[in-house]
Each structure stands twice: as structure tokens, then as C-alpha cells.
Structure 1
Amino acid sequence: MNGKVYAMAGASYAHVTISLNLASALKNYLRGSGCRVYMSDMKAHVETTNTFYYPDVMVTCDGRDKALPNHKKYPCLIVQVLSESTEAFGRGNKFANYQQNTLSLEN
């Protein structure tokens, strides 16, 4: 972010369980729709700020994302499972950046 790399490895049992359960439910629900569900190892690119994040769960239904093997630019859903240590950033700058990306996609 802004030329800096932040290590974010490791998550709690609850965090991983919530993410996996949600991703599994979404994958089953969206089966056959053409939408894809990704978990925490797929990057989301916020073009307006040229920032990359690793959301816990992300869904894209946009065909343009199929050509992007290492990141997605057009997600229709981004889920961040918050913890005490990440909540302020998740609800602050990260959320604002995600909203900027949404606004640019609508224009």
C-alpha cells in the first residue's frame, strides 16, 4: 500500500471458519451463474488508488476479470472478516478505497 508491503499472515480459528463457511455458501449459491468466488489469496485491485488488497472473500461476475489471473478489478462483492486488531483499518481507509473503486465502476 503506497509502496509499502504489510505482512498479514495468519488468522484465528473463528476468522478462517467464518471466511470458509461464507465462501462455501456463496460458491454453492452461485454455481452455474458464471460468477466466481475467491478467498484470501486472490488480490483485489482498487484502480482509483492503485492499491491491492487480499479480501477474505470476493465474488466477481464480470467477464473482464477472467483475463486477470493474479488479481481481480471488477468484484461485485468483497467481504472482510474483522478482528479487534484490523477493525479500525477495515472500517476506515480500506472501506473508503473499496467504495472509490465501486464509484469508478458505476461511472
Structure 2
Amino acid sequence: MTALAAMKRFITPQEYLEGELRSDVRHEYVDGQVYAMVGASRAHGRIVNAVAYALTPKARQHRCQLFTSDMKVRLDFAGQEVYYYPDVVLVCDPADAATYYTERPCLIVEVLSESTERIDRREKLLAYQKLPSLEAYLLVAQDARRVEVFRRATGWRHELHTEGAIDLPCLDSALTLDDVYLDVGL
């Protein structure tokens, strides 16, 4: 999601994590600054649910954990600590067991919207590439049948999918575009 408002004073990661436990609004954290998250559209929610529904049996089969919207991804690079809330995150490393965030996801999915697209395409793409465990990053359009994929195995080269299926190496299986867009009629 995107930032609506930023607090001006620096807060520590610990203050951020404690604040999130008490807050009614989710926030992302970028090196001492906190950004409130925007609510999602109906189409956005349906796509997130459809992706989770399609991936859940495969995740269970591989003893992976699948989270939607409320699990943070923690990044730490160049002395900066960052926490993002991806729309869907898949974790297959049993040692990655922090209660409120993950540090070693193998798949991240973001559903694009007008207010989030720029951050998802640039800031988050560059940040997520620094996660050694991440195998694929998917950007899912909610207004057209279009999924963009960036994979570690191809040097993060852009792939565009408008039909068919997307191979997911974490799960040794595929996610079909029919499954992604089943509930939004695209």
C-alpha cells in the first residue's frame, strides 16, 4: 500500500512494532519513519483472496506458511530497517518464525492500485531483491488481466503474463491467471 501520512520524528523499530500491536491502522516503517496504509478496493481484496485460496493447498503440501496483508516483511540493509506489509507472502523456511514479521520469504505478491503502483514497482522491487530467500515477486493488476513477474533466477528480468500460468519455484507448481482473476471477471 502507499503512505498517507508520515510522522516527522524518528522512531525506533521497537517503538514501531509495539505501536502496531495497539494501532487500528496498519503502518509501514522505513528507516525511522512511519507511513499509514490506505484501505483496499473490493477487487483488490478479491484478488488477494483468490491468490491465497489457490496457493494454500500447495503451501501446506510443502510445509510453507502463507500470509495475506497482515504479516510484515522485515528488511535490514545498509543500516536501514524497513517493514512492509505485502498483500501475499509465502515463507518456506521453518527457521523464519518471528511472531509479527518474516525475514526470509520466498514469494511476495503485491496487487497494484493507482496509489501503490509507483512504490510497488520501484521502492519495494529494489528492496525485496535484497532478500536472499526471495525467488519471485509478482505485481498483479486489478483493472486488467496482467501479472508481472520478477525472478531471482533470471536476474530480476521482467516477465509479463496475460494468459496461462506462472511457475512458482518455491512450490514446484504454477498459479494460473484464471485462478487469480476468478472473482473479478477479468
TM-score, length-normalised on structure 2?
Answer: 0.52
CA distance in 1, matches of 2:94, 2:60: 16
Q: Which has the larger radius of gyration?
A: 2
In structure 1, what is the equivalent of residue 74 of structure 2?
45
Q: Which amino acid aligns with 2:49?
A: L
In structure 1, what is the equivalent of residue 91 of structure 2?
60
Higher helix share: 1
CA distance in 2, matches of 1:34, 1:103: 16
CA distance in 1, matches of 2:45, 2:130: 27
Structure 2 contact 106–133 (Cα < 8 Å) conserved: no
In structure 2, what is the equivalent of residue 4 of structure 1?
33
Q: Which amino acid aligns with 1:85?
A: S
In structure 2, what is the equivalent of residue 19 of structure 1?
48
In structure 1, what is the equivalent of residue 126 of structure 2?
96
Q: Which runs of 5+ in 1 are unaligned?
A: none
- Alpha-carbon deviation of 1:9? 3.8
RMSD value, Cα:
1.9
**Which of 75, 89, 114 is residue 84 of structure 1 equivalent to?**
114
Q: Which amino acid aligns with 1:87?
A: E
- Alpha-carbon deviation of 1:100? 1.3
Structure 2 contact 72–85 (Cα < 8 Å) conserved: yes
Higher strand share: 2
Q: Which has the higher contact order (CA 8 A, sep 6+)?
A: 1
Q: How many residues align structurally? A: 104
Q: Which whole-Å deviations, capped at 9, do the CAs of 1:29-66 have from their partners, x for residues lacking one?
A: 22232100001100001122421100000000001112
- Alpha-carbon deviation of 1:103? 7.6
Q: How high is the sequence identity, in percent, across the aligned residues?
A: 42
Structure 2 contact 66–88 (Cα < 8 Å) conserved: yes
**Structure 1 stretch 95-104 or stretch 69-78: which is displaced more?**
95-104
Q: Which amino acid aligns with 1:86?
A: T
Structure 1 contact 47–73 (Cα < 8 Å) conserved: no
- For residues 16 and 24 of structure 1, do their structure 2 counterparts lie closer, same or farther at Cα, with a shift above 3 Å needed? same
- Alpha-carbon deviation of 1:94? 1.1
Q: Which runs of 5+ in 2 are unaligned?
A: 1-29, 135-151, 153-186
